[in-house]
Structure 1
């Protein structure tokens, strides 16, 4: 299985948490086959919203969720 990564973002209640306050309005950037491409997409999305402290983008390692270690 390839190491899939999901990049998404949205408005958070506190910039130091991942408590998204409007989950129905998340910006799903995409699913990427490797970390390098996911990181590039994350950086581009985060850079667009750099002046808005309540916007946060994250990279989720889907491969870790699909194949958890014992």
Structure 2
């Protein structure tokens, strides 16, 4: 299985947490086949909102969720 990574972000209630205010309005950047591409996409998305402390983007390791024992 590929090591898939999801990049998404949105407005959080507290910049120190991942408590998204409106989960239905998350900005899904995409799913990427490796961490390097996911990190590049994450950096590009995060850079667009660098002046907004309540916007947060994350990389989720989908492969770890799909095959936790691997």
- Kindly state the Cα deviation for residue 64 of structure 1 after the two structures are TM-superposed: 0.2
Gaps of 5+ in 2: none
Corresponding residue SS for 2:50 = coil
TM (normalized to structure 1)? Answer: 0.97
Provide the C-alpha distance between the structure 2 equivalents of 1:65 and 1:11, rounded to a whole number of angstroms.
24
Q: Which consecutive segments of 4 or more residues in structure 1 shift more than 2 A?
A: none
* 1:32 pairs with 2:69: no
Provide the C-alpha distance between the structure 2 equivalents of 1:57 and 1:69, rounded to a whole number of angstroms.
26
Counterpart mapping for 1:26-65 below 5 A:
26-65=26-65
TM (normalized to structure 2)? Answer: 0.97
- Kindly state the Cα deviation for residue 69 of structure 1 after the two structures are TM-superposed: 2.3
Aligned length: 70
Gaps of 5+ in 1: none
Q: CA RMSD in A?
A: 1.0
